[in-house]
Amino acid sequence: MEPIASHENWRNCFSEVAPGLLLFARQWVQSAADAEDIVQDAFIKFWRRNHDIHNRGLLYAAVRSLSLDFIRRDARRARREATAMAEAEHAVEPHFELQDDTQSALAAAVESLPRDQREVLVLKIWNDLTFSEIAGALGISQNTAASRYRYALNNLKKTFQPQ
Amino acid sequence: MNDFRELENELRKLRPARPSPALFERIGEALKESRAATAADSSLERQGFGKARHNWWSLGFGLAAAAVLILFAVVTIERRQEHRQTTAQNSPASETQRAPAGKGSSMSRSRFVPAGGTNVVFNARDEGLHFAGGSERPVRQVRYNTQQTWRWRNPETGASLRVSYPSEEIVLIPVSGQ
């Protein structure tokens, strides 16, 4: 018989972190389906090894590592996707559930950020990671993580004009 | 960071796209499979541990048996060498004296006497003149390829032993100028 407690456990846990994880994966992989595959692999590895879910940095590090592997493994496909994304102006699979034009403008501003700033912002805002956890997940120092976050907010403030 | 508080609040209002329901199903299936695989792995590991222990015993017995065999072989070789030394020391006497019957007859039975030899030259090649070893006089070098055969015979038993091997011989013939 299925152990219901553990079943509920992973579902609850995954429900909580999945949207942020997917958003993080999509910093490298444009396709939502590929991002889901990566998140699935990372989460299963994480869960099977009985990692403490509070040590979230490892989970994000796994997503990042699998995403980079995916890009390396399928470079041709990634180039094709990048071209398609450039042509489609990010309109095919939105990263956010947008409710109004202000949010659309803000999402566009976020997506126009440099990748190193954007990944810190994604981890901080939509995944609630501390700078220490971000540093662990990205393999950078805590100060670097904090300064990238500050640069990201600065850039957003310059480009994003609330309507 | 207070300058950015309003911006951070705006950002937090953005909700990331939700995963598809199929992703939950896939993860559920994968975790179920991985649990089954883990259970099978741990059972295999337990079996493997037992097997490994069994293998260690086999290896231990094997090594012990090999050590006994090596020890036995060493002792045998040493005894044979001692026996040969005794035979070598006794051989002059056995050549000059008639071997007594009984215990010593086995020694005379194993005695072989040279019965002849042949040296068949099957190729000879003149390799021209050379100044061998910095000598001022030239020498003609001739190379012979031969097959040498030596025979021994045991006069008491009539058994014969033949050893045959190829050999190469280089002959230097001094050349005298007229």
User: A54 with A107, same domain?
Assistant: no
Which candidate, B165, B138, B150, B70, places its Cα nearest to that of B112?
B150
Q: How many domains does chain B have?
A: 2
User: B32 with B75, same domain?
Assistant: yes
User: A10 with A73, same domain?
Assistant: yes
User: A109 with A83, same domain?
Assistant: no
Q: Please check whether residue B159 lies inside any domain of the structure.
A: yes
* Cβ atoms within 10 Å, residue A123: 28
CB contact under 8 A, B14 and A110: yes
User: A83 with A27, same domain?
Assistant: yes
Indicate the SS3 state at residue A97. strand
Q: In this predicted structure, what is the pLDDT of residue B156?
A: 86
User: B82 with B128, same domain?
Assistant: no
Q: Please check whether residue B105 lies inside any domain of the structure.
A: no
Q: Please check whether residue B120 lies inside any domain of the structure.
A: yes
Domain range enclosing A47: 1-91
3-state SS string for chain B: CHHHHHHHHHHHHCEECCCCHHHHHHHHHHHHHHHHHHHHHHHHHHHHHHHHHHHHHHHHHHHHHHHHHHHHHHHHHHHHHHHHHHHHHHHHHHHHCCCCCCCCHHHHHCCCEEEEEEEEEEEEEEEEEECHHHCCCCEEEEEEEEEEEEEEECCCCCCEEEEEEEEEEEEEEECCCC
Domain range enclosing B115: 111-174
Contact yes or no for A119/A139 (Cβ under 8 A): no
Q: Please check whether residue B139 lies inside any domain of the structure.
A: yes
- Nearest CB to B17: which of A10, A32, A40? A32
Q: Please check whether residue B73 lies inside any domain of the structure.
A: yes
Q: In this predicted structure, what is the pLDDT of residue B105?
A: 46
Q: B95 falls in which pLDDT band (50, 70, 90)? A: very low
Q: How many domains does chain A have?
A: 2
Its ipTM equals: 0.79
User: A35 with A79, same domain?
Assistant: yes
For chain B, which residues lie within 8 Å of any Cβ of chain A, measuring from their own Cβ?
1, 3-4, 7-8, 10-20, 23-24, 26-28, 30-32, 34, 38
User: B40 with B80, same domain?
Assistant: yes
Contact yes or no for B155/B113 (Cβ under 8 A): yes
**Domain end: B35, B65, B94, which one?**
B94
CB contact under 8 A, A157 and B28: no
User: A70 with A107, same domain?
Assistant: no
Averaged pLDDT, A21-39: 90
Residue A9 distance to chain B (closest CA, Å): 11
Using one digit for the tens of pLDDT, what is the confidence trace for A70-116?
Answer: 888 777 665 666 666 665 544 456 788 888 888 888 898 998 999 99
pTM for the full predicted model: 0.53
**Main-chain phi, psi angles of B20, to 5 degrees:** -75, 150
CB contact under 8 A, B11 and A157: no
User: A15 with A76, same domain?
Assistant: yes
User: A59 with A130, same domain?
Assistant: no
Q: A31 falls in which pLDDT band (50, 70, 90)? A: confident
